[in-house]
Amino acid sequence: VQCEIAAGAGMIIQRVVLNSRPGKNGVPVAENFRLEQSTIPDTVQEGQVRVRTLYLSVDPYMRCRMNEDTGSDYLLPWQLSEVADGGGVGVVEESKHSTFAKGDIVTSFNWPWQTVAILDASLLQKVVPQLVNGRLSYFLGAAGLTGLTALLGIREKGHVTVGANQTMVVSGAAGACGSLAGQIGRLEGCSRVVGIAGTDEKCSILVSEMGFDAAINYKKGNVAQQLRELCPGGVDIYFDNVGGDISDTVISQMNQNSHIILCGQISQYNRDVPYPPPLPPDTEKIQKERNITRERFLVLNYMDKQEASVLQLCQWIQEGKLKVRETVVEGLANIGAAFQSMMNGGNIGKQIVSISK
């Protein structure tokens, strides 16, 4: 009873909870989330840290967490009327753990969507703002899980060989992961990088800012024909963010002993299919005949390489070799709209929500 009284008289915060589920085959909308007022205790217990949220990450994989069953053994579903969570960055306001002090900047993969939170210290990692030139939101994108996914995906599943004259194709190339993956493919040794995106503006940015050799607007013209023209030697590495018809088209032009980096299947997230979705029979036949690797890829399996990989990403950012694009939305109240926009493909780069004081 005493704890309930303390909590009731605690600090007033704002938080975002899952208001409704879109259904396994439904398209998520902003109204699936609800902003509400809540309280947290005034006191921090031993081993805990009180943090103020600065930035929250909005990511495609979260669509799976809106279902009662995520279809994945490593993703837990969000519960109705419970606070949502994901990647976050914030500042320590009070600490009862020796690792963290007031003023430290920290990040977590399990950050609740609320303005202030009391978290177990074991959930947090301290970060160094100077590593990203003070751009703290980068720890959720280019120097965080998104960048790690691109870098480790390419290093572990892409089999890039410097000097081997390899061509990489990236689908969803203007998205958070795809825009980094194309640049990292080049930095790791690919001689040609071609992106696939959904607007002329996105394609233009990929070539002019991100260093892609070319980009295809899949909503215009014949994608297969454009791929043949832009990848005359075939495709050696395919960084797959979307699945579906686009991927079938790319796979049909892949070379013998080539590699698919299976990052995401955003075209399939609003459909009740297993992950990774099975390929159509004709595409599967090509994959087998040409000995094309297509293995499920999970960053969490390579956490022993996380620290060195983050330092590599930060070095490229500092040197200007890795260009970063973010779509920043202000205010916790707008996180549902930001999620809807991202799932509709309206963003360039990483979707970030900035939480004001």
Q: In this predicted structure, what is the pLDDT of residue 80?
A: 97
Q: In this predicted structure, what is the pLDDT of residue 2?
A: 40
Domains and CATH numbers, the chain: 11-140+326-354 (3.90.180.10), 145-300 (3.40.50.720)
What is the residue type of 238? Y
pTM of the predicted structure, to 2 decimals:
0.90
Q: In this predicted structure, what is the pLDDT of residue 357?
A: 55
Tokens describing residue 356: 């004001």
Q: In the chain, which ranges are E strands?
A: 11-18, 33-40, 48-58, 85-95, 105-112, 116-120, 125-126, 167-171, 192-197, 214-217, 235-240, 254-262, 293-296, 326-330, 350-354
Tens digit of each residue's pLDDT (9 = 90 or more) over 81-129: 999 999 999 999 999 999 999 999 999 999 999 999 999 999 999 999 9
Beta bridge partners of 292: none
Tens digit of each residue's pLDDT (9 = 90 or more) over 237-279: 999 998 889 999 999 999 999 999 998 765 444 444 456 778 9
Across the chain, what does the average pLDDT equal? 92
d(CA 288, CA 303): 30
